[in-house]
Structure 1
Amino acid sequence: MEIYKASKTFPPDEKYSLTDQIRRSSRAVYANLSYEWRKRRYKGVFIYKLTDAAQEAAETKTCHIDKTTFARLDESYEHISAMRPTMAKKADAFCH
């Protein structure tokens, strides 16, 4: 929701490029995490979707938002991102 609010401040001429892209990539992070959790019985899919979620999050970070918003959102991103390698290494604990 914060990404959506931040994207409302983008210039109107960026509506179909930058604005649309940051909204799609931010939604894709959660979609991939949800998908990998549902498919966790398949270790390969689990790890693959963790990687996809990280890629979408990185793409979202590259978009243009102010420094204050970026700092707040980046803290959340780093917290979630820090869990990904451990989850991938210990996929057997999550996959069943």
Structure 2
Amino acid sequence: MIELKSYRDLTVWQKSMDLVVICYQLTSLFPKTEIYGLSSQIQRAAVSIPANIAEGKGRNHLGDYIRHLSMANGSLKELETHLMIVGRLGYLNLSSG
């Protein structure tokens, strides 16, 4: 069994940190007119995911941890919605090939 000493040991936190980097890379490709629009919204939603996981893990009560995980999940759904909007607007061509 793996001992979790820190939120940094959580796979979900590590992957959400990777997601933040990807989101910043993607938003750098958006039209400059979106710098205060979708770019900002995507970046803030992405950053909120690992931040809430970390904050929840740092709490002393299981209920607080679960509440923060729920907020992280909400931010993930927000991010997903923003990325769907990006697709509908045609800001990125994500097709392979």
1:46 counterpart residue number: 65
Q: Secondary structure at the match of 2:29?
A: coil
In 1, the alpha carbon distance for the partners of 2:78 and 2:31 equals 19
Structure 2 unaligned spans of 5+: 1-20
Normalized per residue, the structure richer in helix is: 1
Q: Compute the RMSD of aligned alpha carbons.
A: 1.8
Aligned identity (percent) is 25
Structure 1 unaligned spans of 5+: 70-96
Runs (4+) off by over 3 Å: 65-69
Q: Secondary structure at the match of 1:16?
A: coil
Q: Which amino acid aligns with 1:49?
A: H
Deviation at 1:68, TM superposition (A): 4.0
In 2, the alpha carbon distance for the partners of 1:61 and 1:7 equals 14
Matches within 5 A, 1:1-96: 1-39=21-59, 41-63=60-82, 64=86, 66=92, 68=94
Q: Give the TM-score taking structure 1 as reference length.
A: 0.64
| Deviation per residue, 1:28-78 (Å, 9 max, x gap) | 000000011111x31211111010000001111112254748xxxxxxxxx
Tell me the number of residue pairs that the alignment of Structure 1 and Structure 2 aligns: 68
Q: Give the TM-score taking structure 2 as reference length.
A: 0.63
1:82 counterpart residue number: none
